[in-house]
Amino acid sequence: MKKLLGIVFLGLLLSGNVNAGWFDKLPVLACEIDGQYITYDLRKYTPLSKANPNTKLLIFDPKDDEYMFYKYIKESDGTMRNLRHTVNRYSGIINLSVSPKYVQGQTGGLAKSLKTEVSFNGICKGVK
C-alpha cells in the first residue's frame, strides 16, 4: 500500500510540471516584412490567460503549426490600432494585419479592432 501511495504521489508531483514554463521557450523572431527588419521577442508577450485590459502585447497558446500574437498601439490622436501577427512555425512566413483606427470602449470599437485595413507578408528566422 505504501508503494502504491508513493507511486501515485510521485506521478502527481511530476505530471504537474508538464506544461510549466513553455513561455520561457518561445523564440525571438528576426523578420523581414515589406523590406523592413523587425525583431519580435515572444517571451515578452503576455499569455491570453494572464491578460488584463491594459495588456499591450498578447500571445495566444502556440499551435503545432503557428504562433499568433497581437500588439495594441495607442496613436497620438487617442485612437488605437491592433497589429495581428500570424507566423507559420514550419515555413517562417509571417502575416501582419493592421486594424483601422478605433476608440477603445466606444460602440463598434471591438468590431473595428478585428477588421483589417492593411496587411503585409514577410519571412521570419528563428521559428521553432
Per-residue pLDDT tens for 62-87?
A: 898 999 999 999 999 989 999 999 99
Task: Decide if 98 contacts 114 (C-beta within 8 A).
Answer: no
Give me the residue spans of the domains in the chain: 21-125
pLDDT tens-digit readout, 27-38:
999 999 999 999
